[in-house]
Structure 1
Amino acid sequence: MTCADKTISSSRPIWVVLLSGCLVLCLAFGVRSSYGLFVKPITDELNWGREVLAFSLAIQNLLWGAAQPFAGMIADRYGAGRVLALSVLVYAGGIILGVMDYSPIASHMGPGFFVGIGLSGTTFGVVLAVIGRSVTEDKRSLALGIATASASLGQFLIIPLGSSLLQSFGWQDALLILAGLLMLIVPASYFLRGVSSTSNNSVEPDAVMLPEGSMSEALKEAAGHRGYWLLIAGFFVCGFHLAFITVHFPSYAIDKGLAPEVGAWTLALVGLANIFGSYTAGALGGTYRKKYLLSGIYIARSVAILAFILIPASTVSFLVFGFAMGLLWLSTVPLTSGLVAQIFGPKYMGTLFGFVFFSHQVGSFIGVWLGGVLYDSTQSYDLVWWISIFLGVFAAIVHWPITDEPLRRLPQAT
């Protein structure tokens, strides 16, 4: 039996796989989401403009996306356990490098390059593919929603922890403690090992899966599918929204004259609300057409942002915005990844979703970097907020015409 033939063993029930995947996403996303807390203290202490660290985090997002398809390919073929264990070491090492060397180059390489590579092997592309292949089609959307919600739980728990560590120990020691927390991913990866091909429980009832070793055929098939390109275009917008808000929102709150804790607690509230938003999106995706739900989510984001920038800034307006955006935050993920599995089947879900996620991270790169550039040049984030509104409308439009029926394949000759 090759590595690619391995499936979930009877000693690992579905709930163990789901729980392990949730822990990985909780830690990986929670630590990553806390980086916005460190932008102002780091730039103030080192006398950098906000563009320097913003560019590092933009590199992080871009490399995260660029490496995601390859992490997905390796995990699809050889199993996710080794990918997760190695990636978290790279992730933590990148954080440590940024702490030990205070130069912009070290910032670009540590929190930028290495953390980005580490994230590619510890987040959605790898973990959701494992979970997606572990459950039957009727339960897949809900399982993906639960896993996505766990990422937000990490944001809700770790952002306040990071804020407390920052106030108590300073930014260097706070980041080192968060890097150590990531090591809990290593034992969790053991329970996600050897999951690389479609199990008997998850084969699509209406489609015949591509034969073993036909990853190139799966990629060619997706490249010729119009709906796949529309998913790629729409997920770009999701990345732009999330990365801009995650990185720049704490500084935006301070710019508006609010206490530093307001930005931190708003992002934590985003994570709390998204636990419900992601779970609900996953549950609804099992009943209603995912593409229409995605269009509704993006329109709702644009409305929420518009209302937020038109209302005078206050602690209440920030917290209400955080709750509203939280309901819409990662709710796109179970629906987008679920559409990939629904249309093309779950066998190469890690690879195919990896390329969709790369578009998400290109959007993240632009959102983070553009936020820093426009702030330094205008001393305001207003233009980026308006760009976010128009992009939300664009994403709502492109999801509507996606052809979402599962592909039918002819059985292979034996």
Structure 2
Amino acid sequence: MNLSSRSKAILICGAVILSVSLGVRHTFGLFLQPIVMEQGWGREVFAFAIAIQNLVWGIAQPFAGLAADRRGAGPVILVGGLLFASGVGLMSVAGSIPIFVIAAGILVGLGLSGTTMPVVFGAISRAMPPEKRSMAFGIAMSVGSLGQFILLPGALGLIDHVGWAYSLMLLSALSAVILPLSFALRENRKDQVGTTNLEAHRAARLALGDRGFQLLSFGFFVCGFHVVFIAIHIPVYLLDAGLSSTVGSTVLALIGLFNIFGSLAAGWLGGRFPKPQLLSFLYLARAATIAAFVLLPPTPTSAYVFAMLMGFLWLSTVPLTNGIVASMFGVTNMAMLGGVIFLAHQIGSFLGGWLGGAIYDRFGSYDIVWAVAIGLSLVAAAVNWPIAERPVMKAVAT
């Protein structure tokens, strides 16, 4: 893409920030087994902390997005990076359930609200011409996925050699890389129309009252349910099936690797075909992929094939969903509106993470959650199809 040096800097640094924040977060599923075994906690404790993380992340996201729209993304990312690194570090020394929930749930959740897609995509969307936004989102999301692919085998190796606590300390140090990168995403928002509380309230009211935005939010809720349930519980699900921890970490790494291709493909396709219909096809493909995986006997081969297919579909929803939001409401309040729709995603994430642990502890199986995941995929495919990708109001869609 032919871009100015400023636009390139925002895209590159924003993509690296996503790579670090999403990559470190994606390793958390590897820590479930060693932490609960050493601390003597049930799986629900760990799952609840991660569920709280996703809920806090979702609740804080609209406010982080509003701050980024008004003050620029840089300061928000700086504060988010500090909170994120602090939370990961505190996880390594948390010896009680309340401290662990504060660290993994509240601090990391708040940190993620300032260092992930809505805030970063808001800055990228304002730096890009409309015809290049979808592809830019896809590029940023693919680099974010690269962090997942690289950090997962690295985190597993660290856990094996130095233990889970030191591994979390090192991941906390890595997260501090976000701090200097945040300065590249500083924006002068004082001259921008639509960054006042009145304009932000108006945009939020229009979005929440729009049927298409409501349906899009439900689809994103389903996406959140899928990704957190799988990311947190797939390693132990495979261990329960008699497979090794290496298989579990490889599955998560493959998801990150193939998400690179899926995000790039979604960004490219989103600039050429209707995004709502693309989302419908993605959710149908998720339903078929999950159903095939749980019905077939678990083997390393079936797990790897599932990872590659699911990885391609993993966060391909993100550039498409954000692209629809930009088309409907413009980019002036993009981070705030992205945060609003992301709240729906994180409510789904809370339920996917927590229900996985709660249902397993009560029934000794994940079968119910897999069935719910398939059913939600089918509903999401149906509700995304009729969404009309058009400006809701010209005064907002700038």
TM-score normalized by the length of structure 2: 0.96
Question: 1:396 is matched by which residue type in structure 2?
Answer: A
Equivalence for 1:7: none
Residue 19 of structure 1, aligned match among 5, 12, 28: 12
Structure 2 residue 311 is matched with structure 1 residue 326: yes
How far apart are residue 97 of structure 1 and its match?
A: 1.8
Q: Distance in 1 between matches of 2:337 and 2:284?
A: 26
Structure 2 residue 224 is matched with structure 1 residue 231: no
Deviations 1:361-380 (A, max 9, x none): 00000000000011111111
Q: Distance in 2 between matches of 1:92 and 1:41?
A: 21
Equivalence for 2:147: 154
Q: Structure 2 matches for 1:271-290, cutoff 5 A?
A: 271-290=256-275
Equivalence for 2:92: 99
How far apart are residue 224 of structure 1 and its match?
A: 2.1
Q: Distance in 1 between matches of 2:232 and 2:208?
A: 32
Question: 1:228 is matched by which residue type in structure 2?
Answer: F
How far apart are residue 11 of structure 1 and its match?
A: 8.5
Equivalence for 1:351: 336
Residues 210 and 178 of structure 1: CA distance in aligned 2, closer, same or farther (over 3 Å): closer
Determine what percentage of the aligned residue pairs are the same residue: 47
Deviations 1:318-359 (A, max 9, x none): 000000000000000000001000011111010011010000
Residues 310 and 11 of structure 1: CA distance in aligned 2, closer, same or farther (over 3 Å): closer
Residue 179 of structure 2, aligned match among 186, 193, 204: 186
Residues 166 and 193 of structure 1: CA distance in aligned 2, closer, same or farther (over 3 Å): same
Q: Distance in 1 between matches of 2:392 and 2:350?
A: 33
Structure 2 residue 232 is matched with structure 1 residue 247: yes
Question: 2:108 is matched by which residue type in structure 1?
Answer: V
Contact map agreement 1:130 1:196 (CA 8 A) in 2: no
Residue 364 of structure 1, aligned match among 343, 349, 354: 349
Contact map agreement 1:22 1:150 (CA 8 A) in 2: yes
Deviations 1:285-332 (A, max 9, x none): 000000000000000000000000111110010000000000000000
Q: Distance in 1 between matches of 2:178 and 2:129?
A: 26
Equivalence for 1:206: none
Deviations 1:184-228 (A, max 9, x none): 1111111001254898xxxxxxxxx75866111111221221111
Structure 1: gaps spanning 5 or more residues: 1-9, 200-208
Q: Distance in 2 between matches of 1:93 and 1:211?
A: 30
Residue 162 of structure 2, aligned match among 160, 165, 169: 169
Q: Distance in 2 between matches of 1:198 and 1:330?
A: 33
Structure 2: gaps spanning 5 or more residues: none
Q: Distance in 2 between matches of 1:101 and 1:271?
A: 28
Equivalence for 1:6: none
Equivalence for 1:3: none
Equivalence for 1:86: 79
Contact map agreement 1:197 1:347 (CA 8 A) in 2: no
4+ residue runs over 2 A deviation: 10-13, 195-199, 209-213, 407-411
Contact map agreement 1:244 1:367 (CA 8 A) in 2: yes
Equivalence for 2:298: 313
Equivalence for 1:47: 40
Q: Distance in 2 between matches of 1:165 and 1:115?
A: 20
Deviations 1:33-74 (A, max 9, x none): 000000001001111110001100000010011100000000
CA-based RMSD of the aligned residues comes to 1.6
Q: Distance in 2 between matches of 1:92 and 1:219?
A: 31
Question: 1:71 is matched by which residue type in structure 2?
Answer: A
Question: 2:159 is matched by which residue type in structure 1?
Answer: L
Structure 2 residue 22 is matched with structure 1 residue 37: no
Q: Distance in 2 between matches of 1:240 and 1:410?
A: 34
Q: Distance in 2 between matches of 1:211 and 1:33?
A: 33
Q: Distance in 2 between matches of 1:236 and 1:129?
A: 20
Question: 2:317 is matched by which residue type in structure 1?
Answer: T
Deviations 1:112-141 (A, max 9, x none): 111000000000110011101111111110
Q: Distance in 1 between matches of 2:208 and 2:379?
A: 22
How far apart are residue 13 of structure 1 and its match?
A: 2.2
Contact map agreement 2:77 2:178 (CA 8 A) in 1: yes
Residues 164 and 227 of structure 1: CA distance in aligned 2, closer, same or farther (over 3 Å): same
Q: Secondary structure at the match of 2:382?
A: helix
Q: Distance in 2 between matches of 1:251 and 1:173?
A: 21
Q: Distance in 2 between matches of 1:107 and 1:184?
A: 23
Q: Secondary structure at the match of 1:100?
A: coil
Residue 107 of structure 2, aligned match among 111, 114, 132: 114
Equivalence for 1:222: 207
Residues 361 and 410 of structure 1: CA distance in aligned 2, closer, same or farther (over 3 Å): closer
Q: Structure 2 matches for 1:44-83, cutoff 5 A?
A: 44-83=37-76
Contact map agreement 1:36 1:250 (CA 8 A) in 2: yes
